[in-house]
Amino acid sequence: MKKCVMIMFVLCLSLHISMNVEAVSPKKLSLASKSAILVDSTTGRVLYEKNGYERMYPASLTKIATAIYALENGNLNDIVTISKNVEHTDGTKVYLVEGEQVTLKHLIQGLLINSGNDAGVAIAEHMSGSVSEFAKNLNTFLMDKVGVSATHFVNPHGLFAKNHYTTAYDIAKITNYAMKNKTFRQIFETKELSWNGKEWKTVLITHHLMLKGELEYKEVTGGKTGYVNESGQTLATTAENKNIRLTVITMDAKTKSEAYNDTKKLLDYGFKYHSLI
């Protein structure tokens, strides 16, 4: 009888250990993005990565850095007068026009929610006088304050330049740093915002499909999209449940579907294998 009890005890113990090992064991993920990383937002611990430290072009993920720099170093109530240079910025816009006056906070909202490149240039000119000077100041901030080591930006928006680069790890680090700022979090999680510009009156809607609910993932708390030809699809996503907060960065996916599928795989992995650790 004692022998049977002992055998049953050993079997149960073995099953318990096996189940716990399965719960924390790394799982090989099939990711289409060239580079990707999953990070514990609270501790900064890397939970999974694929080429996470490889130099990449970030496209509009750059705007996460621009936003937190402006939030920490500017006065949100400042009135910014839009220049001709801002009006003629290429790419995605909030359609600012020369002479228009906008608060710095509203420019940051237009930068993050609608990915306005013109808002980025307006912020740069207001903060530093020019895009080139802003880039120098931004790089110093990212190195000295955020602690990145493989990032070099030459503009505030992420339009392609050969010497404008970063890594998935650095973008995750910048995002986690930014998320400590209450105003940044509020803007980063915004799904819709009224925009009453001089020439453009509309409702801005986040481009991030998970955040706005077009692709359902209820734990998602914020996000930023990016794309230029040279970078492919880039995506930054934050999410949390009652046990853990996660940050996912995917870079150089060929399609939006690949970027979002990879993000979902990484979030699923993080919540399944690391929520209770």
- 141 belongs to a structural domain: yes
pLDDT digits (tens, 9 = 90+) for 39-52: 999 999 999 999 99
Q: pLDDT-derived band of residue 276, with 50, 70 and 90 as boundaries? A: low
Question: CATH number of the domain that 233 lies in?
Answer: 3.40.710.10
14 in a domain, yes or no?
no
Catalytic machinery residues = 60, 63, 115
Q: Please tell me whether residue 236 adopts helix, strand or coil conformation.
A: strand
- Decide if 10 is inside a domain: no
On whether residue 22 sits in a domain, the answer given is no
Structurally, the chain folds into a number of domains equal to 1
> Which are the contacts of 232, defined by CB distance < 8 A and separation ≥ 6?
33, 34, 251, 252, 253, 254
Angle, CA 64 vertex, CA 63 and CA 68 arms, to 5°: 110
Does the residue 184 lie in any domain? yes
Q: What is the mean pLDDT of residues 72-99?
A: 98
Helix residue ranges per DSSP H, the chain: 2-24, 62-73, 84-87, 104-113, 117-128, 131-141, 168-178, 182-188, 256-274
* Residue-number span of the structural domain to which 98 is assigned: 30-274
Looking at the predicted structure, is the pLDDT value of residue 12 above 50? no
- Considering the domain boundaries, does residue 262 fall inside one? yes
Residues 151-195 have pLDDT tens digits of: 999 999 999 999 999 999 999 999 999 999 999 999 999 999 999
- Residue 42 is assigned to a structural domain of this protein: yes
Domain-embedded: residue 74:
yes
Would the pLDDT of 113 be above 80? yes
